[in-house]
A and B are shown apart, each in its own frame.
Chain A
Amino acid sequence: MALLDVQDLVIDIPVGGGVLHAVNEVSFAVERGETLAIVGESGSGKSLTSLAVMDLLPRVARRRAARLSFDGTDLLTIPERQMRKLRGSRMAMIFQEPMTSLNPAYTIGNQLSEALRCHEDVSAEAARARAIELLERVGIAGAGRRLLQYPHQLSGGLRQRVMIAMALMCKPDLIIADEPTTALDVTIQAQILRLLAELKKELNMAMILITHDLGVVARVADKVAVMYAGALVERGSARAVFKAPSHPYTRGLLNCIPVPGRTAPGAPLGAIRGQVPNLIGRLQGCAFRNRCDFAAPECAGDIHVEAVSPGHDVRCVRLEAQNRAVA
């Protein structure tokens, strides 16, 4: 059984002009020790999807699903008190914006210790020792002194690392990391990603990694889910998705980035024309069709999911047309 099993997750947000269909029937599963990366356009619903798993959606948002289970526990019906206990102890989150989860009024040391002590009965000394160990592992020198500092006294990169340490305090089974390295420079990014991979192995942790950096995804993920306008358009092993991208949006995305050795310097990069559609109101057909080179009348109808190979699913009705064009 998968550690996390999400089936047909729907998130609606009532807004001025109607209902915003932020996430539409998204399904995925994550096993222990596995990393799932979620990639996709800004606003495609990546953060909301992960917040839905943690039951941390903004109050206005409405969540539905055919199934949402964590290690056999049904998260749709679990009492709030029990959910709070799971959060932070067995599921932890690294947020896109560090300041949302660091409290400006308390020292780093205080917050790190609290993260552990509100879930486990450990002494203050033991909590402090674990905090120092983790800060050192995320590359913060002089960790003992840092414990006395307040969040505003740290640079963005340092704050991000403190957040990562905080999420790891309880040795969670599942960690959700929303753009964990976006604010960091490339050498630090590589170090943090290595650390996460190491800890994942050590603790047999599952990880959901949200990022729009395709390099990070390829190097770190076991499985990839590609989202576009609230829908999951492609899903498969990282190898399958990068070696045989099959949804026109995924292909477009991979053509957009310059790849040293493959893209001629200065040559025009592939671009995806047009813009993401408005998600308010009833949606019908493929949301990508106004930007898609393969779009045909049938793309306005119901779009089913098709397996291009075992475990590699694509939400597109024009796979044959695509294959002909590529051949």
Chain B
Amino acid sequence: MSDIVLELKDVTRRFDVSQGVFRPKATLTAVANVSLQVKRGEVFTLVGESGSGKSTLAKMLLGLLSPSSGEILIDGVPIAASNRIAVARRIQPIFQDPYSSLNPRKSIAQLVGLPLLVHNVGDAASRRAKVVEMLDLVGLPRRMLDVYPGQLSGGQRQRVAIARALVMRPEVVICDEPTSALDVSVQAQILNLLLELKRELGLTYFFISHNLAVVEHLADRVAVMYLGRIVEERTRAGLFARPGHPYTRALLESVLTPDPDLGVPETHIGSAMANPMAEHAGCPFQPRCPSAIDICRTTAPAVSSLPDGWATCHLLQQEAVASL
């Protein structure tokens, strides 16, 4: 088995959006030419601006949305060539909202057992046994088997969602903001649980979050997305110590640690949100970039290699030339 579990090759996803009755449809590019590789057993995290395409990317990895162009491979096999059910066996999601992602009319046992039923695994008794085992694993008492989601707290619902995601023993779990709807005390429990399960079951996580303190806590590698593109990909230590891309720097500067002696930092990147329907001749971040130079307006930056990853910024290119 290869070291790479998931691979995206030049993946783009566009949407047609209506602009009103009398105007032609416009094209919105949610994900633009993304290539990345996720290694077996790592926590790969994705951060970035709201609307930058993170969830769209996650949906494509889950086979819920197909790319407009490019290819997605699981263990070297294109998703397009395998069927949905087969993909679902190996990749499972945990979504943000534990309130809407569980059907309120199904009991916890039914919810957690559903993937087993869909994939036709075992008989009723062995399925029940497996569900019990999952509840134990995520720390839910067995008396919850026959209760309904409406009777559970947010943290308990998210545990149910995790149990359901893991019941098929997937290799990869896609977590799209799994704790952002939860209290901080519940968030801590869920993050502890996810890390524990990863060690126990050797899982690979593809983890999306707005919370950079959480990312710094659990990431092995971090990719930063801006306007549908990945603008930087690094190891955790490298990214947080020496961010390469100006957008990454702005992100890190905006993190509010709980220090009462400090105020709210200035971000220097303006607040005009990026427009995914516009064409970009130069660097997509140029309109907001505090360090932009002339070439940024006209030419898209190429990839600059860094010791622990890469970033796309003209300044890095110039540094590299200068140091030759």
Interface residues of A (CB under 8 A from B): 41-42, 138-141, 155-158, 184-191, 193-194, 197, 212-221, 238-239, 241-243, 252-260, 263, 265-266, 268-272, 275-276
A197 engages B264 (CB within 8 Å): yes
Give chain A nearest CB distance to B305 CB in angstroms. Answer: 25
Assuming the contacts A190-B254, A242-B258, A271-B188, asked whether A260 and B263 have C-beta atoms less than 8 A apart, the reply is: no
Stretch from B207-215, B295-303, B312-320 contacting the other chain: B207-215
Assuming the contacts A260-B240, A268-B192, asked whether A190 and B272 have C-beta atoms less than 8 A apart, the reply is: no
Partner of A186, one of B184, B217, B255: B255
The verdict on B259 contacting chain A, using a C-beta distance below 8 Å, is yes
Can you give 21 A-B contacts (C-beta < 8 A)? Answer: A41-B183, A140-B271, A155-B51, A186-B210, A187-B49, A189-B254, A191-B267, A214-B184, A215-B213, A219-B263, A253-B185, A255-B188, A257-B188, A259-B257, A260-B212, A260-B213, A266-B195, A266-B217, A271-B189, A272-B188, A275-B153
The verdict on B131 contacting chain A, using a C-beta distance below 8 Å, is no
A269 engages B188 (CB within 8 Å): yes
The verdict on B1 contacting chain A, using a C-beta distance below 8 Å, is no
Which residues of the partner chain A approach B189 to less than 8 Å between Cβ atoms? 271
- The distance in angstroms between the C-alpha atoms of A214 and B258, with both chains bound, is 6
The verdict on B28 contacting chain A, using a C-beta distance below 8 Å, is no
Partner of B260, one of A185, A243, A252: A243
A187 engages B192 (CB within 8 Å): no
The verdict on B121 contacting chain A, using a C-beta distance below 8 Å, is no
Assuming the contacts A186-B210, A266-B195, asked whether A219 and B256 have C-beta atoms less than 8 A apart, the reply is: yes
Assuming the contacts A141-B272, A258-B216, asked whether A190 and B260 have C-beta atoms less than 8 A apart, the reply is: no
Assuming the contacts A190-B265, A253-B185, A257-B213, asked whether A219 and B259 have C-beta atoms less than 8 A apart, the reply is: yes
A258 engages B264 (CB within 8 Å): no
A252 engages B185 (CB within 8 Å): yes
Partner of B217, one of A252, A253, A265: A265
Give chain B nearest CB distance to A267 CB in angstroms. Answer: 8
Assuming the contacts A139-B271, A185-B210, A268-B192, asked whether A239 and B255 have C-beta atoms less than 8 A apart, the reply is: no
- The distance in angstroms between the C-alpha atoms of A140 and B154, with both chains bound, is 34
- The distance in angstroms between the C-alpha atoms of A251 and B51, with both chains bound, is 35
Assuming the contacts A139-B272, A265-B218, asked whether A253 and B259 have C-beta atoms less than 8 A apart, the reply is: no
Which residues of the partner chain B approach A270 to less than 8 Å between Cβ atoms? 188
B254 engages A186 (CB within 8 Å): yes
Among residues of B, the one whose C-beta sits closest to the C-beta of A155 is B51
The verdict on B147 contacting chain A, using a C-beta distance below 8 Å, is no
The verdict on B117 contacting chain A, using a C-beta distance below 8 Å, is no
Which residues of the partner chain B approach A216 to less than 8 Å between Cβ atoms? 256
- The distance in angstroms between the C-alpha atoms of A191 and B288, with both chains bound, is 14
A197 engages B263 (CB within 8 Å): yes
Partner of A263, one of B51, B217, B255: B217
- The distance in angstroms between the C-alpha atoms of A10 and B217, with both chains bound, is 40
- The distance in angstroms between the C-alpha atoms of A191 and B264, with both chains bound, is 8
B258 engages A266 (CB within 8 Å): no
Partner of B267, one of A190, A213, A254, A272: A190
- The distance in angstroms between the C-alpha atoms of A191 and B218, with both chains bound, is 27
Which residues of the partner chain B approach A258 to less than 8 Å between Cβ atoms? 191, 213-214, 216-217
A238 engages B260 (CB within 8 Å): yes
Give chain B nearest CB distance to A121 CB in angstroms. Answer: 32
A256 engages B188 (CB within 8 Å): yes
Interface residues of B (CB under 8 A from A): 48-51, 153-154, 183-185, 187-189, 191-192, 195, 210, 212-214, 216-218, 236, 240, 250-251, 253-267, 269-273
- The distance in angstroms between the C-alpha atoms of A306 and B236, with both chains bound, is 44
Give chain B nearest CB distance to A268 CB in angstroms. Answer: 5
Secondary structure call for the B interface: loop
B258 engages A259 (CB within 8 Å): yes
Give chain B nearest CB distance to A81 CB in angstroms. Answer: 38
Which residues of the partner chain A approach B251 to less than 8 Å between Cβ atoms? 186-187
Most chain A beta-carbon neighbours within 10 Å: one of B250, B256, B259, B270: B256
Which residues of the partner chain B approach A190 to less than 8 Å between Cβ atoms? 253-254, 256, 264-267
B218 engages A253 (CB within 8 Å): no
Among residues of A, the one whose C-beta sits closest to the C-beta of B212 is A186
Which residues of the partner chain A approach B154 to less than 8 Å between Cβ atoms? 42
Assuming the contacts A157-B50, A269-B188, A275-B153, asked whether A220 and B264 have C-beta atoms less than 8 A apart, the reply is: yes
Among residues of B, the one whose C-beta sits closest to the C-beta of A264 is B217
- The distance in angstroms between the C-alpha atoms of A260 and B153, with both chains bound, is 29
- The distance in angstroms between the C-alpha atoms of A139 and B184, with both chains bound, is 29
A215 engages B50 (CB within 8 Å): no
- The distance in angstroms between the C-alpha atoms of A219 and B257, with both chains bound, is 8
A239 engages B217 (CB within 8 Å): no
Which residues of the partner chain A approach B272 to less than 8 Å between Cβ atoms? 139, 141
Which residues of the partner chain A approach B264 to less than 8 Å between Cβ atoms? 190, 193-194, 197, 219-220
- The distance in angstroms between the C-alpha atoms of A240 and B111, with both chains bound, is 46
- The distance in angstroms between the C-alpha atoms of A259 and B211, with both chains bound, is 11
Assuming the contacts A257-B213, A266-B217, asked whether A188 and B188 have C-beta atoms less than 8 A apart, the reply is: no
Which residues of the partner chain B approach A218 to less than 8 Å between Cβ atoms? 256-260, 262
- The distance in angstroms between the C-alpha atoms of A257 and B183, with both chains bound, is 10
Which residues of the partner chain A approach B250 to less than 8 Å between Cβ atoms? 187
Which residues of the partner chain A approach B217 to less than 8 Å between Cβ atoms? 258, 263, 265-266, 269
Partner of A257, one of B184, B236, B265: B184
Lowest 7 CB-CB distances: which A-B pairs, in order? A139-B271, A215-B256, A258-B217, A256-B188, A269-B188, A186-B254, A218-B258
Among residues of B, the one whose C-beta sits closest to the C-beta of A238 is B260
Which residues of the partner chain B approach A185 to less than 8 Å between Cβ atoms? 48-50, 210
B50 engages A254 (CB within 8 Å): no
Give chain B nearest CB distance to A192 CB in angstroms. Answer: 9
Which residues of the partner chain A approach B218 to less than 8 Å between Cβ atoms? 265-266
Assuming the contacts A217-B258, A238-B260, A271-B192, asked whether A259 and B266 have C-beta atoms less than 8 A apart, the reply is: no
- The distance in angstroms between the C-alpha atoms of A319 and B262, with both chains bound, is 28
